[in-house]
Structure 1
Amino acid sequence: MFNVYELFNKINELKPRIRLDVGQPDIPVAEEIISAAIESLRNRETGYVSTAGIPELREKIAEVEGVEPEEVIVGPGAKILIAAEIAMAEKIAVISPYWNAYLLMASQFGKDVTIIETTLENAWVPEVDGADADLLIINYPNNPTGRVLSREELRSILEVAEDKGMKVLSDEIYAEISFKEFTPARDLYDNVVTIKGFSKLYSMTGFRLGYAISSKDEIRRIRKFIESTVTCVPPFVQKAGVKALELRDKLIRTVTKEYERRAKLASKILRGLEFYEPEGAFYLFLKVPTDGLAFVERILNRGVSAFPGIAFGNYSNFIRISLTSDRLEEGLKIIREEVECALQ
């Protein structure tokens, strides 16, 4: 199994001048969010708190998401909440291309995994009828393709899940960074665990703050996992989360607009090459005329980093470009030049 984190560490050592590899937003964290964390620290809010999250944050999440506070649990990053669901499942089904960590976690917990392949030629739309699992993981807007399913495309997946009695884990970490109408899975199906976080829209990657939304019974099951592993999220981090949600509408207007601008810029610079124009998130999954890992090495020699398609499934002739650099245009032009060179 390809471990993208090993490549990430190698890229860090090489220090390329244009970083288009990791999903680390380059838009700074809002000053108000930082101030909220500092104020909380100065108020000595540094001890243990409730595993499920401080009431103020759970209530604010519930207000924003249109659910009850008891249907929300806070975790130290979205990843631990995904891990909780994978740990509690018997068999996992994952739609490919996928975030590498899903399979790393499934391997860690010794779970059987069914991979549901999708293709660029079929616009990355999955057919889940053959899935044999009790937990289906979906991720839209998708990392790495930028695909956002229409309401009807999503409904067709969830109908199969219902017929098969599958729980659905909907990783919606990029939900607010959507350039077209986005439908949350829980709007169409009851047996859903929605995972969201503060790393992408709010750029709060280092804060390690995420949350899950589901039925009260499911939240209690996740709570037991969190109690036995990480205990709770620091209160000063949660206070920063409260402030972030107060800024949510403003950031959706400004941050999402900026990522949409970048997606359009990337699509323009790479026009004529093979990719699906991003509809959300901040990635572009590009088909290259050679082995993707070799292509990544090739552009690294020119000071540009990206991730190979094999980090996301059986896509050896793809690369993922992260649209998160103030030198994006220069990096994209170098990538285009190398694609054209490889075609000669």
Structure 2
Amino acid sequence: MDLHPFLLDQWTARFADASPAIRFHLAGSTGPSWTLAEIAALGDTPLDLTNTPLGYSSAEGSRALREAIGAYHGVDPDWVVITTGGSEALSLLFCVLERPGADILVPDPGYPAYDAMARAWRLKTQTYRLTREARYAQTADVVLAAMTAHSVAAIVNTPHNPTGSVMKRSELALLAGEAAGRGMALIVDEVFHPIYFGMPQPSAADLDNVIVVGDMSKALSLPGLRLGWIIDRDAERRSRLITARSYFAISHSPLLEIVATHALTHSAAILARAQAVADANLRAVEAMVENLRGLLDWVKPEGGTTVFPWFVDGRDSRPFCEAAAAKGVLIAPGDCFGQSHHLRIGIANHCEGLEHGLEIAAAIIKA
């Protein structure tokens, strides 16, 4: 099957070895970077990998790691299946949900891989629209309105990429119950949880009829581990997921599982740093938008690590992003998310200096 070009990945890859080098990488959605040494030093007992056997782990992941993830989300560790990042989690879920003629509900705008990977598993996609006029609010009614007689699941991403909107727990519970009554599963993508700018909320993993996807890459700021998970209380479906993973990947790296377990055990320090960086940088973006009033507008995000402003005059953002990249500031053009007059700015990667990158971007917009 031919997949649509992954525009976001192509955009960032294009500038990986740019000359002059990119100084402000604002096109991504991860938190502030950590070295292995910094992670290993967390806690009273430094992590030591030197005596780790380089064999296979189990397909569902080590018990220690699943217990750490269960504690992180407040659920039974037996519900957890380890995956190679959030992408494999989605692929496994689409694999076991696929049936002839079935469709899945996905947000628009939304993470481009939802649509591409669903189609790769021959699932049709039905989009539910998150609108600027409604401040990108995520409600059960908006999702259910897109349902068809062939819908097998709906995906909710909260906090949402790229807009930063959050579906309230009451709406998630309502949607999960309605979906169950219609024979649908509710997949909640929580890779940006628990980074919130207003009232925080707990994971949805304990709600009935909810499958949670999480990973170490976004809020937990460790994308190089390539480690994610599925939380599913349905034992029969979970068994099918583990079987599929046995064929697809066999297991994850035991080295990376040990690092991830250590990181999750000390996740409070990692999350505190990510939250502090995101809070400070969100204020910087807010100041930039205010300075560019009449040229740029936005809906202030409620959580996550990205903002999704737009050009008031409706211009295509790609020429601006090209010009910014030439000045060392990498911002993702909105056409990567199907909305060309928008641009996505990552706010959690740079611990310092983001204000200067935004100043360069603002000067280009004003020129």
Same fold (TM over 0.5): yes
Kept after mapping to 1: 8 A contact 2:73/2:203: no
Q: Deviations over 1:211-269 (max 9, x none)?
A: 11111223212111110100111111111111111111233333212212211221122
Kindly indicate whether residue 359 of structure 2 is the aligned counterpart of residue 333 of structure 1. Answer: yes
Distance in 1, Cα, partners of 2:95 & 2:126: 16
- Residue 195 of structure 1: SS of its match in structure 2? strand
- Displacement after TM superposition at 1:152 (Å): 3.7
Distance in 2, Cα, partners of 1:269 & 1:198: 30
- Displacement after TM superposition at 1:22 (Å): 1.9
Query: After the TM superposition, which segments of 4 or more aligned residues of structure 1 sit over 4 Å from their partners?
Result: 35-38
Aligned with residue 107 of structure 1, among 109, 119, 123: 119
Kept after mapping to 2: 8 A contact 1:143/1:281: yes
- Residue 89 of structure 2: SS of its match in structure 1? helix
AA partner of residue 332 (structure 1): L
Kindly indicate whether residue 343 of structure 2 is the aligned counterpart of residue 319 of structure 1. Answer: yes
Kindly indicate whether residue 100 of structure 2 is the aligned counterpart of residue 83 of structure 1. Answer: no
Distance in 2, Cα, partners of 1:209 & 1:155: 27
Aligned with residue 29 of structure 2, among 5, 13, 23: 23
Q: 1:249 to 1:30 in 2, by over 3 A?
A: farther
Aligned ranges 1:1-344 → 2 under 5 Å:
1=4, 3=6, 4-14=8-18, 15-29=21-35, 31=37, 33-34=39-40, 39-40=48-49, 42-89=50-97, 90-126=102-138, 127-128=142-143, 129-132=145-148, 133-179=151-197, 180-187=199-206, 189-215=207-233, 216-271=235-290, 272=293, 273-288=296-311, 289=313, 290-313=315-338, 315-323=339-347, 324-325=349-350, 326-341=352-367
TM-score normalised by length of structure 2:
0.85
- Displacement after TM superposition at 1:93 (Å): 1.1
Higher mean alpha-carbon deviation, 260-269 vs 330-339, is at: 330-339
AA partner of residue 186 (structure 2): V
Q: Deviations over 1:54-75 (max 9, x none)?
A: 1111122223322222111111
Higher mean alpha-carbon deviation, 226-235 vs 28-37, is at: 28-37
- Displacement after TM superposition at 1:38 (Å): 6.9
Gapped regions of structure 1 (runs ≥ 5): none
Q: Deviations over 1:124-169 (max 9, x none)?
A: 1241212222111111111111112223443454354234322111
Percent of aligned pairs with the same amino acid: 25
TM-score normalised by length of structure 1:
0.90
Q: 1:82 to 1:311 in 2, by over 3 A?
A: same
- Displacement after TM superposition at 1:275 (Å): 0.8
Distance in 1, Cα, partners of 2:263 & 2:167: 27
Q: 1:30 to 1:236 in 2, by over 3 A?
A: closer
Distance in 2, Cα, partners of 1:116 & 1:185: 20
Kept after mapping to 2: 8 A contact 1:81/1:222: no
- Displacement after TM superposition at 1:190 (Å): 1.6
Higher mean alpha-carbon deviation, 23-32 vs 273-282, is at: 23-32
Q: 1:293 to 1:174 in 2, by over 3 A?
A: same
Distance in 1, Cα, partners of 2:87 & 2:17: 25
Distance in 2, Cα, partners of 1:295 & 1:156: 41
Q: 1:155 to 1:275 in 2, by over 3 A?
A: farther
Q: Deviations over 1:22-57 (max 9, x none)?
A: 2243332463534699723x1142101211111111
Distance in 2, Cα, partners of 1:75 & 1:274: 38
Gapped regions of structure 2 (runs ≥ 5): none
